[in-house]
A and B are shown apart, each in its own frame.
Chain A
Amino acid sequence: MLKLVQSVNAHRGKGWSVDWCPHGDDKLASSGEDKTACIFLTEELKKTKLPSEPITLITKLGEGSHTRSIRDVAWSPCGKYILLASFDGQVTLWEQTKSKKSAYNCVSVVEGHESEVKAVSWAPSGRYFASCGRDKNVMIWSLLDDCEDVECSGVMTVHSQDVKRVVWHPHTDMLASCSYDDTIKMYINDLDDGDWTMTTSLSGHDSTVWGIDFDSSGERLVSCSDDLTLKIWKKTDVVNDKSWSCVATIAGHHTRAIYDVAWNKKNGLIATACGDDQIRIFREVPAANELEKNNFELLFTLKAHSSDVNSVKWHPKLENVLASTGDDGCVKVWKWEDII
């Protein structure tokens, strides 16, 4: 059962993306079509008895610095930096000011993409971040000396169409990207050369792959697509990361394109954001033996927004808290309560 905790009218126009701050203060960031990113303070969600309005808006970033919609936000693992990716081709890095915790300064503007940047993601190790865009490039950037300088570590142009999302593996510095060309590709840093190379390409979807997410162990990947299905991929070769294969396809539940998927690292629930205004929660059916693994069942579905849902993210620490945003410009925070 998904209960609405709070709904905030964060953006004029569409809300494109939400991200929870991984460590430090409990903050939530959202980005939208109105060229701003909103940062909310969500400390009060930790309380067992929730106040009526636990989420408060701290600040809005990006006003005046981006000329087009901000498509994606990503917090750094330490929580002090935030990246914004925009349709104007730039990625901006903002740092929390030491004097005033609620203010942020733009530390650098990362230019490199030739057209719209669709997603940005920070590696859990904090060493790299990746961005991808309509120019079919996946660019990996490394940060030097306390995040003062940003250097391009690699550019991969392996997709044949625009790249929709980049997601890092939860434990290693491995990157996965998904694209309009219906494939998912993975990359690692070949430590001998220092070059990034593509290790594997997963195909199976019939249409644009919009989102991907790893499970808590990093052994499995879920992907959601415009072809109305979710696919679960598993690493078949345990030794190296080179072979992944599709072990399950979840079809028949979604009626329109699935824009985002999030795999809860704590309890294994999968949440999906769909173009039919619903958020769906899936759970893996407990398997008796090896053959019956990777079966997923739909637990719950709810009309979450008055228009398409664009992004869902589980809270990294609080087990059952979910944030979502959609075309109606609202950012909503939900609490999942097990039915049984």
Chain B
Amino acid sequence: MPLFRNNNNVTGSNSVEKDTIGKYSNRKYFQNVADKLSERYLDLDSFSVSVSVPKTTWHQNREKVEARTPTKIISMPQQILSFPLCSNVSDFLKFQAIPMEATDNLNPKLHTKSEARVVTLSELDENAVDVIDAREVFDIIRDINDPEHPLTLEELNVIEEDKITVDNVKNLIKINFTPTIPHCSMATLIGLSIRVQLMRSLPSRFKVDIAITPGSHASEIAINKQLADKERVAAALENSHLIEVVNQCLTMKDY
């Protein structure tokens, strides 16, 4: 007996690569599935659930994201709600087997991306001094990928432009980032990726303070202390495995 019945005969490709289970790295697949699922309902055998799936956010022109509103839920394990449909049961069962630790936050809230920066006349002038401001720092770090989801930190609202302060005179930059959930285990890694990205992009005169937005994480004091300790950060960055993970977060994905 199939565990679920799909009224819509979404075939979608069966091609979720085995090694990407839980990693969501095959964006084209999702684009296809999400297109077909918009406004459609998912009927499960013993459950009756209607879920409105948001329009895809992975389009080139980012459209506004509709909030996900489950209308009626009867003890639905979270995994089923968020995994895409499979056209056969065995693939679905593979999804089921993923332990909760693989991703902390299976349903991250998504946010729109900011508009492109408006180019003013003074910025086009070759001779004018181009001060580094919050928007520029934001542009440097907005595209850092989240370690768990195929989304950037900006899209997850981990980084916001108004939480960045830049003081050009004192050469001080303060950044507050907000992990998506209060027990996010990736918070230190996200902080480290921000630090590395800025280290590689900004002039060395800047002192950068990176901290978790107060009140948004259970162990924010401990994590802030670690991120502020430059000796620990330098030693961590000499660890080749860790630097590989950080580099993965920092590379731009091709779409």
Residues of chain B from 224 to 243 with CB closer than 8 A to chain A in the complex: 225, 228-232, 234-235, 238
Give bound CA distance, A33 to B233, whole Å. Answer: 13
Instruction: Kindly provide the distance from the CB of B171 to the nearest chain A CB, expressed in whole angstroms.
Output: 9
Q: Chain A residues with Cβ under 8 A from B205's Cβ?
A: 306-307
Interchain CB contact under 8 A, B238 and A162: no
B207 at the interface (CB under 8 A from A): yes
B15 at the interface (CB under 8 A from A): no
Residues of chain B from 206 to 238 with CB closer than 8 A to chain A in the complex: 207, 225, 228-232, 234-235, 238
Interchain CB contact under 8 A, B207 and A275: yes
Q: Chain B residues with Cβ under 8 A from A226's Cβ?
A: 228-229
Instruction: Kindly provide the distance from the CB of B16 to the nearest chain A CB, expressed in whole angstroms.
Output: 39
B204 at the interface (CB under 8 A from A): yes
Residues of chain A from 147 to 174 with CB closer than 8 A to chain B in the complex: 162, 164
Interchain CB contact under 8 A, A164 and B207: no
A68 at the interface (CB under 8 A from B): yes
A87 with B238: in contact, given A275-B207, A276-B207, A307-B204 (CB under 8 Å)?
Answer: yes
Give bound CA distance, A308 to B205, whole Å. Answer: 9
Q: Chain B residues with Cβ under 8 A from A71's Cβ?
A: 231
Interchain CB contact under 8 A, A68 and B228: no
Residues of chain A from 289 to 340 with CB closer than 8 A to chain B in the complex: 306-308, 327-328
Contact-residue size bin, chain A (C-beta under 8 Å from the other chain):
20 to 34
Give bound CA distance, A207 to B225, whole Å. Answer: 8
Instruction: Report the interface size for chain B: residues with CB under 8 A from the other chain.
Output: 12
Q: Chain B residues with Cβ under 8 A from A92's Cβ?
A: none
Interchain CB contact under 8 A, B234 and A162: no
Instruction: Kindly provide the distance from the CB of A190 to the nearest chain B CB, expressed in whole angstroms.
Output: 32
Instruction: Kindly provide the distance from the CB of B163 to the nearest chain A CB, expressed in whole angstroms.
Output: 21
A69 with B234: in contact, given A256-B207, A275-B207 (CB under 8 Å)?
Answer: yes
A134 at the interface (CB under 8 A from B): yes
Q: Chain B residues with Cβ under 8 A from A327's Cβ?
A: 204
Q: Chain A residues with Cβ under 8 A from B230's Cβ?
A: 275, 308
Instruction: Kindly provide the distance from the CB of B206 to the nearest chain A CB, expressed in whole angstroms.
Output: 10
Q: Chain B residues with Cβ under 8 A from A134's Cβ?
A: 232, 235
Q: Looking across the interface, which residue of chain B has its beta carbon closest to that of A275?
A: B207
Q: Looking across the interface, which residue of chain B has its beta carbon closest to that of A256?
A: B207
Interchain CB contact under 8 A, B225 and A118: no
Q: Chain A residues with Cβ under 8 A from B225's Cβ?
A: 180, 207-208
A33 with B234: in contact, given A180-B229, A226-B228 (CB under 8 Å)?
Answer: yes
Give bound CA distance, A162 to B232, whole Å. Answer: 9
Give bound CA distance, A12 to B234, whole Å. Answer: 14
Residues of chain A from 32 to 54 with CB closer than 8 A to chain B in the complex: 33
Interchain CB contact under 8 A, A164 and B204: no
Q: List 22 A-B contacts (CB under 8 A).
A: A68-B235, A69-B234, A71-B231, A87-B234, A87-B235, A87-B238, A118-B231, A134-B232, A134-B235, A162-B232, A164-B231, A180-B232, A207-B225, A226-B229, A256-B207, A275-B230, A276-B207, A306-B204, A307-B205, A308-B230, A327-B204, A328-B204
Give me 13 other A-B pairs in contact (C-beta within 8 A), A87-B235, A257-B228 excluded. Answer: A14-B234, A68-B235, A69-B234, A69-B235, A87-B234, A87-B238, A134-B232, A134-B235, A162-B232, A208-B229, A256-B207, A307-B204, A327-B204
